[in-house]
Amino acid sequence: MSKALRFAPAVKELRLHLCQKSPTSEGTRQFIEKFYVNLKQQNPSTPILIRECSNINPTLWTRYEYGIEKQIPLTGMSAEQVFSAIENLTTKTIPASLHRLSK
């Protein structure tokens, strides 16, 4: 099962923080196994970083142009829910209100 997902040009980096063993990170680990390769192939110039650390809650961080960052907790999500969270943060442009705050 592979899904195509192209990031908006404003997306500069994607980071996934997760625990290697925790049940709360299971869906995030499954996401990496199922979707990472295709996601990277569709977005070769965007860094997609996987950060593993013991006993942390899984979190998605997205960095946009102008240094704006947004995060979403991924605790207890399935691989498909993690994919949807990434889709929500990477396919839309930055809201004008956030752009104004960064100046």
pLDDT digits (tens, 9 = 90+) for 76-96: 999 999 999 999 999 876 655
Residues near 22 by Cβ (< 8 Å), separated by ≥ 6?
A: 55, 56, 58
Is 47 domain-assigned?
Answer: yes
Q: What's the CATH number where 17 sits?
A: 3.40.30.10
Is 87 domain-assigned?
Answer: yes
Is 97 domain-assigned?
Answer: yes
Which residue in 17, 20, 6 sits closest to 74, CA to CA? 17
Is 49 domain-assigned?
Answer: yes
Integer angstrom CA distances of residue 6 from 19, 81, 94, 100: 26, 17, 15, 25
Model confidence over 26-39: pLDDT tens digits? 999 999 999 999 99
Is 1 domain-assigned?
Answer: no
Average confidence score pLDDT of the chain? 90
Is 4 domain-assigned?
Answer: no
| Number of independent structural domains in the chain | 1
